[in-house]
């Protein structure tokens, strides 16, 4: 037993240190204050959101539906994220050689990897679920049994979505291992799965939004769809020790059986994912010379397109932006209907009046939430030393990373712009401004991402998921993006209230972001370069 605990501890120590910073002395801020600040902001945002949800439910005395909904969305989030994270967490890990050579059961290795994944998900789910649990307790008088059940539910509810996402991740890895362009195949299949899950959850959301009049029905649908949520809600409304015992046992049973069954094919899939074929007999080589920065950009593109989790994380937001713009262009009536179902009533005339603001909001949201550069330094890993030994200026290296990310984003944003320009009438000035925004906003977002990654690099990750999804850098970047979106939306709202025209607001916003972007690039040139030099691998 001591051996197993020691193994688990060894495997966990490095990976769980989200705020570990390589090559730098950790300040008190990064060690203690930053995680608390991040957790507090998350908690407060979700707590406010949960309160908004709760008000109509109180009127119909169905407060427990709040817990059902939050538990359901948390599980959907775990499932969708798990689909593209699991391939990278479970297969072709850097510690394969060490772990697989140890005299331990192969099921234990699989268990440890799923456990790591599980612990991160519990951490994230707690950030989402806990505020809802607190809001519920604010409206309903609860006892110790409520808190006990809720804490157990936090631990139990992610189990099945994690198992399902691991199995889907396994299937994706298995299928893509037969393709020559493995990363590309993996990305396409993963995106396909994610769009299916998204489509399903959007349709469910349409039903869920009719909360007040049909709350019981929604509760039934969700609890039948995922039975542990039903068990949890039953325990919250009518606590019995025996039910709690059954709740725990069923999930542990499902987890154990899944590990045993999945373990039977896990090693086969894992060895297939490592099987890189060397069958290229062509010895005609291209010796074409490139400019230094172009060569650096090519290298960054190679890295980006070799990592399915990286592409999916960055690309999913861009695809949604594109789908949104195509939807507005081709099926505006349906978009208005969907918005009405979400409780947002808007006419075509109102959309026409506000379209430049709406498009600006879309661009802003897509750019600030799709930070690619927040992982680019960390993903260098041990190859970071190659960059440091090259005879190029550090700022050129940093700019090449921003340019790569921007080049990935801008074409998608331009296509979206054109689709909206075709559908609605814009003044020439508005079109020019929105095109400029489609450049400035990604540059701003990617500069922020890079600055944050230089502050919080994670150079010793076992896999890309740890960097792209589970690192301090990616979380802080998303948080800064959310704050900036909030400030922008508030500014636009206040501007409209004071009677400013749409085109004026777009001009002011563009100028503001241009100034912010210039300041950030200046900061990158002065401070970012020094941060780069300080990183040690």
Residues 355-394 that bind another protein (CB under 8 A): 381-383, 385-386, 388-393
State in angstroms the smallest separation of the CB of 32 from another protein.
19
Q: Nearer Cβ to another protein, position 241 or 285?
A: 285
CA 76 from centre of chain: 13
Q: What's 44's DSSP letter?
A: H
Contact between 180 and another protein per CB under 8 A: no
Q: How far apart are CA 415 and CA 402, in angstroms?
A: 20
**Residue from 29, 241, 285, 428 in contact with another protein (CB under 8 A):** 285
Q: How far apart are CA 47 and CA 407, in angstroms?
A: 37
Q: Residue 143 phi/psi, 5° resolution? A: -110, -170
**CB-based contact 78:114 (threshold 8 Å):** no
Q: How far apart are CA 243 and CA 232, in angstroms?
A: 9
Could you tell me the end-to-end alpha-carbon distance of the chain, in angstroms, rounded to an integer? 34
**Residue from 206, 342, 352, 536 in contact with another protein (CB under 8 A):** 536
Number of helical H runs and strand E runs in the chain: 23, 0
Q: Nearer Cβ to another protein, position 300 or 430?
A: 300
How many residues bind to another protein according to rule CB under 8 A? 38
Contact between 181 and another protein per CB under 8 A: no
Q: Nearer Cβ to another protein, position 32 or 530?
A: 530
Q: What's 26's DSSP letter?
A: P
Concatenated DSSP letters for 266-291? Answer: HHHHHHHHH-----------------
Q: Residue 400 phi/psi, 5° resolution? A: -60, -35
Q: How far apart are CA 494 and CA 491, in angstroms?
A: 5
Q: How far apart are CA 428 and CA 250, in angstroms?
A: 63
Q: Nearer Cβ to another protein, position 44 or 525?
A: 525
Q: How far apart are CA 365 and CA 486, in angstroms?
A: 10
Q: Per-residue contact track with another protein, 19 to 58, x per CB under 8 A?
A: ------x---------------------------------
Residues 391-430 that bind another protein (CB under 8 A): 391-393
Closest CA to 81 of 312, 255, 266: 312
Contact segment (CB under 8 A) with another protein among 106-114, 271-279, 434-442, 446-454 equals 271-279
State in angstroms the smallest separation of the CB of 293 from another protein.
10
Residues with Cβ within 8 Å of residue 420, at least 6 apart in sequence: 325, 328, 329, 355, 359
Name the region of 179 (left: φ>0; alpha: ψ -120 to 50; beta: rest).
beta
Contact between 17 and another protein per CB under 8 A: no
Contact segment (CB under 8 A) with another protein among 126-134, 223-231, 293-301, 486-494 equals 293-301
Contact between 280 and another protein per CB under 8 A: yes
Contact segment (CB under 8 A) with another protein among 122-130, 214-222, 226-234, 275-283 equals 275-283
**Residue from 51, 183, 214, 518 in contact with another protein (CB under 8 A):** 183
Query: What is the total residue count of the chain?
Result: 537
Contact between 202 and another protein per CB under 8 A: no
Contact segment (CB under 8 A) with another protein among 263-271, 286-294, 468-476, 498-506 equals 286-294
Q: Nearer Cβ to another protein, position 237 or 302?
A: 302
Q: Nearer Cβ to another protein, position 220 or 533?
A: 533
Six token digits for residue 431: 């079109």
**Residue from 106, 234, 423, 534 in contact with another protein (CB under 8 A):** 534
**Residue from 61, 103, 288, 428 in contact with another protein (CB under 8 A):** 288
Q: Per-residue contact track with another protein, 306 to 325, x per CB under 8 A?
A: x-------------------
Contact between 295 and another protein per CB under 8 A: yes
Contact segment (CB under 8 A) with another protein among 103-111, 152-160, 295-303, 368-376 equals 295-303
Q: How far apart are CA 286 and CA 129, in angstroms?
A: 55
Closest CA to 467 of 351, 373, 365, 332: 373
Q: How far apart are CA 420 and CA 446, in angstroms?
A: 24
Contact between 289 and another protein per CB under 8 A: yes
Q: What is the CA radius of gyration of the chain?
A: 25
Q: How far apart are CA 446 and CA 450, in angstroms?
A: 6
**Residue from 291, 345, 347, 498 in contact with another protein (CB under 8 A):** 291
**Residue from 3, 268, 298, 526 in contact with another protein (CB under 8 A):** 298
Contact between 82 and another protein per CB under 8 A: no
State in angstroms the smallest separation of the CB of 303 from another protein.
7
Residues contributing to the site for another protein (CB under 8 A): 25, 183, 276-278, 280-283, 285-292, 294-295, 298-299, 302-303, 306, 381-383, 385-386, 388-393, 533-534, 536
């Amino acid at each position: 037993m001591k051996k197993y605990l020691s193994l688990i501890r060894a495997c966990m120590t490095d990976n769980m240190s989200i705020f570990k910073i390589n090559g730098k002395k950790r300040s008190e801020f990064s060690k203690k204050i930053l995680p608390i600040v991040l957790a507090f902001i998350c908690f407060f945002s979700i707590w406010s959101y949960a309160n908004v949800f709760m008000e109509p439910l109180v009127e119909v005395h169905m407060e427990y539906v709040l817990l059902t909904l939050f538990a359901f969305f948390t599980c959907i989030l775990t499932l969708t994220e798990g689909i593209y994270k699991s391939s990278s967490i479970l297969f072709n890990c850097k510690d394969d050689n060490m772990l697989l050579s140890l005299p331990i059961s192969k099921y234990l290795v699989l268990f440890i990897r799923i456990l790591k994944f599980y612990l991160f998900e519990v951490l994230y789910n707690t950030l989402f679920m806990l505020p809802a649990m607190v809001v519920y307790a604010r409206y309903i008088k609860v006892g110790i049994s409520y808190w006990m059940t809720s804490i157990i539910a936090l631990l139990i509810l992610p189990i099945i979505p994690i198992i399902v996402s691991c199995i889907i991740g396994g299937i994706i890895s298995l299928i893509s291992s037969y393709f020559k362009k493995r990363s590309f195949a993996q990305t396409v299949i993963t995106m396909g799965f994610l769009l299916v899950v998204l489509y399903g959850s959007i349709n469910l959301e349409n039903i869920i939004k009719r909360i007040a009049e049909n709350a019981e029905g929604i509760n039934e649908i969700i609890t039948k769809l995922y039975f542990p949520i039903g068990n949890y809600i039953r325990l919250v409304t009518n606590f019995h020790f025996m039910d709690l015992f059954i709740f725990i046992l069923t999930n542990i049973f499902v987890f154990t059986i899944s590990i045993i069954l999945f373990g039977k094919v896990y090693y086969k899939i894992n060895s297939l994912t490592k099987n890189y074929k060397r069958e290229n007999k062509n010895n005609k080589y291209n010796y074409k010379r490139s400019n230094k920065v172009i060569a650096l950009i090519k290298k960054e593109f190679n890295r980006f397109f070799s990592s399915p989790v990286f592409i999916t994380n960055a690309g999913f937001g861009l695809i949604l932006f594109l789908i949104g713009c195509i939807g507005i262009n081709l099926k505006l009536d349906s978009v208005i209907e969907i918005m009405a179902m979400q409780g947002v009533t808007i006419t075509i005339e109102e959309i026409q009046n506000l379209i430049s603001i709406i498009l600006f909001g879309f661009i802003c949201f897509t750019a600030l939430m799709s930070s690619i550069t927040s992982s680019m330094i960390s993903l260098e890993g041990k190859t970071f030393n190659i960059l440091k030994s090259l005879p190029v200026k550090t700022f050129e290296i940093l700019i090449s990373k921003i340019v790569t990310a921007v080049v990935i984003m801008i074409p998608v944003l331009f296509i979206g712009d054109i689709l909206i320009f075709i559908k609605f009438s814009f003044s020439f000035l508005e079109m020019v401004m929105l095109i400029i925004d489609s450049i400035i906003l990604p540059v701003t977002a990617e500069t922020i991402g890079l600055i944050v990654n230089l502050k919080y690099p994670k150079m010793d990750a076992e896999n890309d998921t740890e960097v792209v999804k589970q690192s301090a850098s990616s979380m802080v970047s998303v948080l800064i993006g959310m704050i900036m979106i909030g400030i922008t939306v508030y500014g636009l709202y206040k501007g409209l209230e004071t009677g400013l025209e749409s085109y004026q607001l777009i001009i002011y916003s563009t100028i503001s972001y241009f100034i912010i972007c210039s300041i950030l690039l200046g900061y990158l040139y002065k401070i970012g370069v020094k941060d780069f030099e300080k990183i040690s691998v």
